[in-house]
Amino acid sequence: MSKLADAIRRSQRVEAAPMGFGAARPAQRPTMLVGAVVDAGGVAAASQAGAEVIVVEAPAFSAEDVKKAREAAGDAVLGARTAVASSEDAKALREAGLDFLLVDADTTPASALLDDDLGYALALPDAPEELFLRSLDALSLEALYLAAVPSPLTVAGQIELGRVAGLGRKPLLSKTAASASKDDLQCLRAAGVAVVLTDAAGVASLKETVASLPARKTRRDDQRTVVSLPRGNAGTPEHDDDDDDD
């Protein structure tokens, strides 16, 4: 499991209520990750603002560039959307400190996804078709990336996001305005968005809003009582064969 997948999993974990009358409830952990999309020179600013995930967008991003970014990123999950030519390129970036690669379906060679120790997220087209989303299950992806989400978010928009997350069977990373409201973020979370990304200047504000979200609710199955009758001849009166004798 990559650092990205582990961070998403921890943010989505539902905490059990403490047992006992005197049990203290621990401080609520934020239920979404907040990150930034920056160029190579903006990593330090994003880290200082508290970004938990940092995505560097750069046409070229060498292993030496990754080392510098890794040092500036601190403990943040570090990703990059950059050109790679082969599995060896991807491996070199991972060995330099990259946690995940944000890949483009039309330009990234398939061999770049062969490094099992590197995380991968796929940049989605604006309106991905059902067949495309269903086919993603064969790839070693940990998240799907959306460059934008509808704002304001309508019911139709939330349904569409849920369709993407459901058919793609992966959590969503999404660019989101730093001014997004608490209600909007709660709706995005319900639709499958696990990581909201903004610019470095907006990280602090977005983290504050995310921290104010209510805890995730556990899904409840239908509580109606279902009575199951045993199969076979149960309930059917038995006839004594002797009754049929004359």
SS3 letters across 13-30:
CCCCCCCCCCCCCCCCCC
Give the model's pLDDT for residue 148. Answer: 83
Give the model's pLDDT for residue 221. Answer: 41
Among 133-137, 176-180, 218-222, whose mean pLDDT is lowest?
218-222
CA distance 167 to 153: 20
Amino acid at 169: R
Give the model's pLDDT for residue 151. Answer: 72
We find that the CATH architecture of domain 29-216 is: Alpha-Beta Barrel (3.20)
Mean pLDDT across the chain? 83
- Does residue 51 have a pLDDT over 60? yes
Residue 37 bridge partners (DSSP): 55
- Of residues 125, 127, 119, 126, the one with CA closest to residue 102: 119
Q: Is the pTM of this model over 0.75?
A: yes
Give the model's pLDDT for residue 224. Answer: 41
Which residue ranges make up each domain of the chain?
29-216
Go through 173-182 and write b for each residue having 16 or more CB atoms within 10 A of its CB, e for each that does not. Answer: bbbbbbebee
DSSP 218: P
Q: What is the CA radius of gyration of the chain?
A: 24
- Does residue 84 have a pLDDT over 60? yes
Average pLDDT over residues 171-194: 91
Among 38-47, 111-120, 237-246, whose mean pLDDT is lowest?
237-246
Q: What is the 3-state secondary structure (H, E, C) of 100-144?
A: EEEEECCCCCHHHHCCCCCEEEEECCCCCCHHHHHHHHHCCCCEE
Among 38-52, 191-205, 213-227, whose mean pLDDT is lowest?
213-227
Higher pLDDT, 238 or 152: 152
Per the listing, tokens 């990581």 go with 195
Average pLDDT over residues 98-119: 92
Give the model's pLDDT for residue 243. Answer: 53
Average pLDDT over residues 79-100: 94
Q: Alpha-carbon dihedral of residues 162, 204, 197, 93, nearest 10 degrees?
A: -140
Percent of the chain with pLDDT strictly greater than 70: 81
pLDDT band at 71 (very low <50, low <70, confident <90, very high): very high
Average pLDDT over residues 175-203: 92
Identify whether the C-beta of residue 52 lies closer than 8 Å to the C-beta of residue 4.
no
Average pLDDT over residues 197-209: 94
pLDDT band at 96 (very low <50, low <70, confident <90, very high): very high
Give the model's pLDDT for residue 10. Answer: 86
- Does residue 230 have a pLDDT over 80? no
